[in-house]
Amino acid sequence: MSNTERTFIAIKPDGVQRGLVGDIIKRFEQRGFRLVAMKMIQASEDHVKQHYIDLKDMPFYGGLCAFMHSGPVVAMIWEGLNVVKNGRLMLGETNPADSKPGSIRGDFCITLGRTIIHGSDSLDSANKEIALWFKPEEMVEYKSCQNGSCMSK
């Protein structure tokens, strides 16, 4: 049985501004995940509020939405075996102080309010977030060349 799935990953404004986009993409590629869609976007306040709607009753909601609206975000869809769970492991803990070295937050973050990256926490949230950030025509289907399957004869 295949556990190939898709997840939503967003590099937050602090990750973009610090020039970490390439390093983060490289980690997902090296892990063997396939990039299906990517775009840089300055998300509207309403868009960000919709993205974090499940946190609307939390005291940090307003600040989080303001921060996510403050600069460009790199939104991505990654595909692969258990990518939701593995992607979250790659990100590290929400609090960077609790993140292990080798995780994205463990290597690049020090402050809870600036965690540089967002990743879907479940398959359901991944599907909702993908639909919120991407239109179906923005996703690209292609064969991986890793096994020579796309080489011409």
Q: What is the per-residue pLDDT across 73-115, written as a single tens digit (0 to 9) for each?
A: 999 999 999 999 999 999 999 999 999 999 999 999 988 888 9
Give CA–CA dist 18/116, Å, rounded. 9
Residues of the chain with pLDDT under 50: 1, 152-153
| Predicted structure pTM score | 0.91
Within a domain: residue 35? yes
Q: Is residue 84 part of a domain?
A: yes
Catalytic residues: 118
74 in any annotated domain = yes
Q: Tell whether 116 is covered by a domain.
A: yes
Tell me if 143 is assigned to some domain: no
Provide CB contacts within 8 A for 9, sequence distance 6+.
24, 28, 75, 76, 77, 78, 87, 117, 118, 119, 120
Name the packing angle between helices 83-91 and 21-31 (round to 10°).
Answer: 140
Tell me the CATH number at 37: 3.30.70.141
Give the domain range for residue 95: 6-137
Identify whether 142 is part of a domain.
no
Report the domain count for the chain. 1
Tell me the C-alpha distance between 131 and 147, whole Å.
30
pLDDT value of position 153: 43
The answer to whether position 30 is within a domain reads: yes
* Confidence (pLDDT) at 89: 96
At 1 the pLDDT is 43
Q: Residue 146: inside a domain, yes or no?
A: no
